[in-house]
Amino acid sequence: MTLLFEDFDVGDRFDLGTYAVSEAEIREFAEQYDPQWFHTDPDRAREESMYGGLIASGWHTAAMTMRLLVDGLLADAASLGAKGVDELRWWRPVFPDDVLSATVEVVECDPERPERGLVRLSVVTRNGAGEKVFSMVGNVLFARRTE
Protein backbone atom coordinates (compact mmCIF):
# COMPACT_ATOMS: atom_id res chain seq x y z
CA MET A 1 0.00 0.00 0.00
CA THR A 2 1.33 3.42 -0.94
CA LEU A 3 1.07 5.92 1.89
CA LEU A 4 -0.36 9.29 0.91
CA PHE A 5 -0.55 12.50 2.91
CA GLU A 6 -3.96 11.55 4.33
CA ASP A 7 -2.54 8.33 5.78
CA PHE A 8 -0.39 10.26 8.30
CA ASP A 9 -1.65 11.50 11.67
CA VAL A 10 0.21 13.44 14.33
CA GLY A 11 1.62 10.92 16.81
CA ASP A 12 2.04 8.08 14.31
CA ARG A 13 5.31 6.22 14.89
CA PHE A 14 7.35 4.06 12.54
CA ASP A 15 10.30 1.80 13.33
CA LEU A 16 12.73 1.95 10.44
CA GLY A 17 14.86 -1.14 11.03
CA THR A 18 18.59 -1.44 11.61
CA TYR A 19 21.84 -0.60 9.84
CA ALA A 20 25.22 -2.20 10.63
CA VAL A 21 28.15 0.21 10.36
CA SER A 22 31.51 -1.08 9.14
CA GLU A 23 34.95 0.47 9.48
CA ALA A 24 35.47 0.16 5.74
CA GLU A 25 32.29 2.12 5.03
CA ILE A 26 33.23 4.82 7.58
CA ARG A 27 36.63 5.27 5.94
CA GLU A 28 35.29 5.14 2.38
CA PHE A 29 32.63 7.78 3.04
CA ALA A 30 35.10 10.00 4.90
CA GLU A 31 37.80 9.73 2.22
CA GLN A 32 35.33 11.06 -0.32
CA TYR A 33 33.26 13.56 1.68
CA ASP A 34 34.78 14.39 5.09
CA PRO A 35 38.48 13.44 5.14
CA GLN A 36 39.29 14.44 8.69
CA TRP A 37 41.82 12.13 10.36
CA PHE A 38 39.45 10.87 13.09
CA HIS A 39 37.24 9.48 10.29
CA THR A 40 40.05 8.09 8.09
CA ASP A 41 43.04 7.07 10.22
CA PRO A 42 42.17 4.37 12.77
CA ASP A 43 45.63 4.33 14.40
CA ARG A 44 45.81 8.08 14.89
CA ALA A 45 42.16 8.17 16.00
CA ARG A 46 42.87 5.49 18.62
CA GLU A 47 45.99 7.26 19.90
CA GLU A 48 45.08 10.96 19.62
CA SER A 49 41.35 11.53 19.40
CA MET A 50 39.03 12.28 22.27
CA TYR A 51 36.79 9.49 20.91
CA GLY A 52 39.29 6.69 21.51
CA GLY A 53 39.03 5.44 17.97
CA LEU A 54 37.68 5.93 14.49
CA ILE A 55 34.22 7.50 14.22
CA ALA A 56 31.79 8.04 11.37
CA SER A 57 31.37 11.49 9.93
CA GLY A 58 28.18 13.12 11.14
CA TRP A 59 27.20 13.48 7.49
CA HIS A 60 27.67 9.74 7.09
CA THR A 61 25.39 9.20 10.10
CA ALA A 62 22.82 11.43 8.41
CA ALA A 63 23.17 9.44 5.19
CA MET A 64 22.77 6.09 6.99
CA THR A 65 19.69 7.50 8.72
CA MET A 66 18.33 8.57 5.33
CA ARG A 67 18.84 5.02 4.07
CA LEU A 68 16.80 3.71 7.01
CA LEU A 69 14.12 6.34 6.36
CA VAL A 70 13.81 5.38 2.70
CA ASP A 71 13.82 1.63 3.32
CA GLY A 72 11.53 1.82 6.35
CA LEU A 73 8.98 4.41 5.21
CA LEU A 74 9.52 6.50 2.10
CA ALA A 75 9.86 3.60 -0.37
CA ASP A 76 6.22 2.69 0.39
CA ALA A 77 4.96 6.27 0.32
CA ALA A 78 4.09 8.88 -2.28
CA SER A 79 7.02 11.03 -1.21
CA LEU A 80 7.65 14.06 -3.40
CA GLY A 81 10.92 15.13 -1.78
CA ALA A 82 11.53 17.46 1.11
CA LYS A 83 11.61 21.17 1.84
CA GLY A 84 14.49 20.79 4.24
CA VAL A 85 15.56 19.58 7.64
CA ASP A 86 15.24 21.32 10.99
CA GLU A 87 16.89 20.64 14.33
CA LEU A 88 19.64 18.39 12.94
CA ARG A 89 21.84 17.18 15.81
CA TRP A 90 24.67 14.73 16.31
CA TRP A 91 24.40 13.51 19.91
CA ARG A 92 27.11 10.86 20.12
CA PRO A 93 29.75 9.47 17.79
CA VAL A 94 29.06 6.40 15.70
CA PHE A 95 31.79 3.75 15.80
CA PRO A 96 32.66 0.81 13.55
CA ASP A 97 30.43 -2.21 14.32
CA ASP A 98 27.64 -0.06 15.79
CA VAL A 99 24.19 -1.21 14.76
CA LEU A 100 21.96 1.80 14.24
CA SER A 101 18.19 1.83 14.51
CA ALA A 102 15.85 4.70 13.75
CA THR A 103 12.32 5.70 14.58
CA VAL A 104 10.05 8.36 13.14
CA GLU A 105 7.20 10.25 14.76
CA VAL A 106 4.78 12.44 12.83
CA VAL A 107 4.76 15.85 14.54
CA GLU A 108 2.72 17.94 12.10
CA CYS A 109 0.56 17.53 9.01
CA ASP A 110 -0.17 20.54 6.79
CA PRO A 111 -2.37 20.09 3.69
CA GLU A 112 -0.46 22.74 1.73
CA ARG A 113 -2.11 22.35 -1.67
CA PRO A 114 -4.78 20.16 -3.27
CA GLU A 115 -2.09 17.92 -4.80
CA ARG A 116 0.34 17.68 -1.86
CA GLY A 117 0.80 18.08 1.86
CA LEU A 118 3.71 18.64 4.19
CA VAL A 119 4.44 16.12 6.95
CA ARG A 120 6.99 17.02 9.61
CA LEU A 121 8.78 13.86 10.72
CA SER A 122 10.88 13.71 13.89
CA VAL A 123 13.61 11.15 13.23
CA VAL A 124 15.80 9.70 15.99
CA THR A 125 18.70 7.31 15.37
CA ARG A 126 20.16 5.22 18.20
CA ASN A 127 23.16 2.94 18.54
CA GLY A 128 23.01 -0.67 19.75
CA ALA A 129 23.13 0.49 23.38
CA GLY A 130 19.98 2.54 22.80
CA GLU A 131 21.83 5.86 23.01
CA LYS A 132 20.67 8.69 20.75
CA VAL A 133 23.32 9.41 18.12
CA PHE A 134 21.40 11.58 15.66
CA SER A 135 18.13 13.44 15.30
CA MET A 136 16.39 15.72 12.84
CA VAL A 137 12.98 16.94 11.81
CA GLY A 138 12.35 16.36 8.13
CA ASN A 139 9.86 18.50 6.23
CA VAL A 140 8.61 15.94 3.71
CA LEU A 141 6.10 16.47 0.91
CA PHE A 142 3.61 13.70 0.13
CA ALA A 143 1.06 13.42 -2.64
CA ARG A 144 -2.58 13.78 -1.61
CA ARG A 145 -5.52 11.61 -2.60
CA THR A 146 -7.14 12.84 -5.76
CA GLU A 147 -10.40 10.87 -5.71
- pLDDT on residue 146: 84
Query: Model confidence over 118-128: pLDDT tens digits?
Result: 999 999 999 99
Q: What is the CA 2 to chain-centroid distance, rounded?
A: 21
The pLDDT assigned to 79 comes to: 97
Helix, strand, or coil (residue 35): coil
DSSP 29: H
Q: Where residue 73 sits, what CATH number does that domain have?
A: 3.10.129.10
Number of domains in the chain: 1
pLDDT over threshold 90, residue 147: no
- Reported pTM: 0.95
Please state, in angstroms and rounded to a whole number, the distance separating the CA atoms of residues 16 and 93: 20
The reported pLDDT for the residue numbered 11 is: 98
Running DSSP on this structure, what letter comes out for residue 52?
Answer: S
As a whole-number percent, the residues of the chain with pLDDT over 70 amount to 99
Measured CA to CA in angstroms, residue 126 lies from 67, 72, 81, 100, 117 at distances of 14, 15, 24, 6, 28
Separation between Cα atoms, residue 16 and residue 102, nearest integer Å = 5
Q: How many CA atoms lie within 13 A of 37 on its CB side?
A: 9
Residue 55: predicted pLDDT: 98
Which residue range(s) make up the domain with 21?
5-143
Q: Which amino acid is at 145?
A: R
pLDDT of 1 above 80: no
